[in-house]
Amino acid sequence: MMEIEALQYKGFRNLKDENGDICGFQVGIRFVAYRGPWLSQFRFAYVKVDDVEYGPDVCTFFVNGVEYTYAEMLKPENWRVKVQMQAPIYIHVKKEGGLAMGCHRVSVKFSEIASYIPERMDDINSEMFEMMHGNDPAYNRDMIIV
Amino acid sequence: MSTSQKPGIHRGVSTYCWYPLYNVNMTLEDSFEIMKDMGAHGLEILADGIIEGYPYPSKEWLNKWFSLCDRYEIVPVEYGHWVESKLYRGRELNVEESLEQLIHDIKLASYMGFTCMRTKLGVIDDKLTPTKIWRDFIRRALPYAEKYNVVMQPEIHWPTRLTDQMILDYVEFIEKEQTQYFGFNIDFGVFTTDATGMGMPPGMELNPSKPEDIIPLLPYVHCCHAKYYNMDENFEETTIPYREVVQIMKDHNWNGYLLSEYEGPHKEDYNHCMTQVKRHHVMLKRILGE
């Protein structure tokens, strides 16, 4: 089972590399929706922690257990991979030393391209997206790193 | 053609009613149990979100599906799916690519026991005008729909009006092809007279269709999204003229399923969604004389 929010608390932790050094952190997201997009329709802006934005260049995405860079997700041939609704997408964020132990304000900004709604609503940076999710508690949570 | 086993208007539910709750505090089986509680046997699923492993569910999942439908007396009515047009940056899908998606969904819907599909097409404008090539891939899909006995139905959804040109285009297509395998799902949101619960985007007008606008379309309608935004404590929908619309359907001997689809606020609140859907079915039972 998942949490009702788009931003998942479960799975929020620092990550270690093969030498045991902390190299980043993980956060889970889900589409609070009736369907998941095909990978080429996924759109991602950032994970933000305490006002620091981590964009696609330092993130990889685990979808159905398989790791993708953002560029790989958007490859045309990856429209044949579907984001399933039964499990989160886990985002791995590269950050030497990870996040400090304690409470953090975490936000995410992601969306999908949907063929059945007008094109003007596709823009993740639109005012409408900001209006819908900018202060939405499902996309912005206080979460503790232990 | 009707999806009903007996003539008349039957009640059902779309899994849309509870979509934020699945895989959080609800399973598909839970919704089947609620449907049984209400005596609402017709089901619409949104295939992408409900079918685990979509578009290629496992044999185990499909066996579970058949077992649950049998146990809870579920009638698979409508299989909601999308014919994507925007999968590549910079270009829309062509006819072959659209057809490939459509044929796969026709086969899967039929295998799962559905007799209708809510065939959501890609759109090109704010009025939800479908992609220009829709006739080409729908025409080529008709033999598959006939072979597998499922009716493809675009959903007619606000802000589209029942008198808009796109509806006339659909009717012209059906009559020209002389097919029973393409029709409409009319979403009752087209009759909404109050935008309070809709979260209407700025600049959009309500402009509702009149209940009688449905009359010439009824021969092509196999099931409807019985949309509700606000069911009050007196078991009345406060924004849609339900009694008028359903009475017209009864007077014209329409056969098919009304599938509850909640699109009001607080969809993340289990108790609220439960109260709304139960009120909706009390209203429908009263109107239908059950």
A118, B128: Cβ pair inside 8 Å?
A: yes
- pLDDT at site A120: 77
User: Is A1 part of a structural domain of the chain?
Assistant: no
Query: For residue B170, what pLDDT is reported?
Result: 95
The three-state secondary structure class of A129 is: helix
Residue A47 placed within a domain: yes
Is residue B2 one of the residues assigned to a domain? no
Residue A110 to chain B, least CA–CA distance (Å):
17
Question: Is B201 in Cβ contact with A41 (below 8 Å)?
Answer: no
Q: Are B191 and B154 in contact (CB under 8 A)?
A: no
Collect all residues of chain A within an 8 Å Cβ-Cβ radius of residue B52. 84, 86
B141 interface with A at CB cutoff 8 Å: no
Q: Does B160 reside within a domain? A: yes
Instruction: Say yes or no for a CB contact (<8 Å) between B20 and A4.
Output: yes
How does pLDDT run across A16-49, given as a tens digit for each residue?
999 999 999 999 999 999 999 999 999 999 999 9
- Please report whether residue A77 resides in a domain: yes
Cβ(B252)–Cβ(B215) under 8 Å? yes
What's the structural domain count of chain B? 1
Mean pLDDT lowest among B5-9, B144-148, B233-237:
B5-9
- The predicted pLDDT at position A110 comes to 94
pLDDT in tens, B44-97: 999 999 999 999 999 999 999 999 999 999 999 999 999 999 998 888 999 999
Q: Which residue has the tokens 């069911």?
A: B231
Answer whether B55 touches A (CB < 8 Å): yes
Cβ(B264)–Cβ(B197) under 8 Å? Answer: yes
Q: Is B280 a residue of the active site?
A: no
Q: Test B88 with A84 for CB contact under 8 angstroms.
A: no
CB contact under 8 A, B25 and A1: yes
pLDDT given for residue B4 in this prediction: 47
Q: Say if CB B116 and CB B4 are below 8 A apart.
A: no
Of B200, B141, B190, nearest to B167 (Cα)? B190
What is residue B133's predicted lDDT score, i.e. its pLDDT? 96
- Split into its structural domains, chain A has a count of 1
pLDDT at B194 over 90: no
Q: Are B189 and B159 in contact (CB under 8 A)?
A: no
Is residue B217 pLDDT above 70, yes or no?
yes
Tens digits of per-residue pLDDT, A85-126?
999 999 999 999 999 999 999 999 999 998 888 887 778 777
User: Which domain, by its residues, includes A32?
Assistant: 7-145
* Whether the Cβ atoms of residue B221 and residue B265 lie closer than 8 Å to each other: no
Residue B2 scores a pLDDT above 50: no
B54 touches chain A (CB under 8 A): yes
Q: For the complex shown, is ipTM > 0.85?
A: yes
Is the CB of residue B155 less than 8 Å from the CB of residue B187? yes
In a domain, B245, yes or no: yes
In a domain, B110, yes or no: yes
Query: Rounded to the nearest 5 degrees, what angle is found at the Cα of B287, between the Cα atoms of B77 and B18?
Result: 45
Closest alpha carbon within chain A to B121: A116
User: Is B163 a residue whose pLDDT tops 60?
Assistant: yes
Q: What gap in Å lies between CA B49 and CA B14, rounded to an integer?
A: 12
Among chain A residues, CA nearest to B45: A34
> In Å, how far is A116's CA from the nearest CA of chain B?
4
B123 to chain A, closest Cα gap in Å = 5
- Confidence check: pLDDT of B113 > 60: yes
CB contact under 8 A, A84 and B55: no
Domain assignment present for A74: yes
The token pair that represents B206 in the structure block: 């309500």
More confident residue, B280 or B206: B280
Please state, in angstroms and rounded to a whole number, the distance separating the CA atoms of residues A120 and B204: 13
Q: Which residue from B206, B177, B167 is spatially nearest to B190, judged by alpha carbons?
A: B206
**Residues B284, B276: Cα–Cα separation, whole Å:** 12
Looking at residue B203, its pLDDT comes to 65
Q: Which helix (H) or strand (E) holds A3?
A: none
Query: Domain holding B247: CATH number?
Result: 3.20.20.150
Tell me if A2 is assigned to some domain: no
Residue B1 domain flag: no
| A119 neighbourhood in chain B, CB within 8 Å | 86, 124
Is residue B4 in some structural domain? no
- Give chain A's contact residues with B (Cβ, < 8 Å): 1-4, 32-36, 38, 40-41, 74, 76, 79, 82, 84-86, 113-120, 122, 128, 138
- Write out chain A residues lying below 8 Å of B121, CB-based: 115-116
**Chain A CB within 8 Å of residue B97 CB:** no
Strand A7-16 and strand A22-29: pairing?
Answer: antiparallel
Q: What range does the domain containing B65 cover?
A: 9-288
In a domain? residue B222: yes
